[in-house]
Amino acid sequence: MKSLRQRAFALTLFVSLVSLFVASAEDEERSQIPTWQDEIAKGCVPYHQLAVDDFRIDDQAHPDGAYWVRAFIHPYWHYITIRNSGWWYAYVDQWIVRSGFDKGASSRKSKFHEMKRALPHVQAYLDIYELYGRQLATLKPGELPSGRGATPQEAIDVLNKSLDAFLKEKYTPLDAEVQEFQNVTNHGANAKKVAELAKAIRKRLDAIPPPTEPASDLPATPSPTPTPKAKAP
């Protein structure tokens, strides 16, 4: 039995089941991992250098902030179940992690005219998420948890529970770093500290190449407007 699971991460440590596809061996080709085009259609665009126009004007969303930015990390995995010595085992055989900017969930107020000044802050914020997303993407299926059970479903349940715990553990330092960044920079008000930390974050990010996927899966020209929250001071 083979199947596909997806976990989406946004804001603090929120991990939720987005979709579950179950397919028999005959239906395997119909249970493909969503493409980048699928992500973009939902407003989740690849990582890039942010511009003012990336933030749509919306005076109704998030009334407590002048602007709102959301990054995303979407781990996808495909698993296979096999039987051995009377037990069923569930293993991950495909692992893809996509990360970037959630265009649909990010916005700014019409009366806020300092978005350009805020860009170094939100870019560093996005860079932190991208850093952890790329770290996750470098993992190989053999480095991920597996599941064992008396039945295929039991093995799958153990696998998914183990992966949930695994991802939460990976997200813990991300959440801590984001909170520390916000505190130290006073939510972006301390421009000098933002510049200092942004440089160090970018250096770490550049040391991890972005994941590569088939070129046909990406838009011909990436859109210029392709988590916790970040607000203007």
pLDDT (tens digit per residue) in 13-37: 222 222 222 222 323 433 478 899 9
Task: Please state the rounded mean pLDDT for residues 192-202.
Answer: 97
Please report, as a single letter, which amino acid is at residue 188. Answer: G
Residue 53 falls inside a structural domain: yes
Residue 221 falls inside a structural domain: no
pLDDT digits (tens, 9 = 90+) for 91-138: 999 999 999 999 999 999 999 999 999 999 999 999 999 999 999 999
From 102, 104, 106, 100, select the one nearest 129 (Cα to Cα): 100
Instruction: DSSP letter for 52, please.
Output: G
Indicate the range of 15-19, 41-45, 101-105, 215-219 predicted with least confidence.
15-19
Task: Please state the rounded mean pLDDT for residues 179-206.
Answer: 96
Distance between CA atoms of residues 25 and 89, nearest Å: 16
Residue 144 falls inside a structural domain: yes
Q: Domain span at residue 133?
A: 2-211
From 90, 91, 102, select the one nearest 14 (Cα to Cα): 102
Residue 49 falls inside a structural domain: yes
Model-wide pTM > 0.75: yes
Three-state secondary-structure class, residue 220: coil
Residue 90 falls inside a structural domain: yes
From 195, 223, 204, select the one nearest 50 (Cα to Cα): 223
Contact 94, 64 (CB under 8 A): no
Residue 227 falls inside a structural domain: no
Residue 232 falls inside a structural domain: no
Residue 194 falls inside a structural domain: yes
From 176, 165, 100, select the one nearest 137 (Cα to Cα): 100
Is the pLDDT score of 189 beyond 60? yes
Q: What angle do CA 228, 233, 111 make, to 5 degrees?
A: 100
Number of domains in the chain: 1
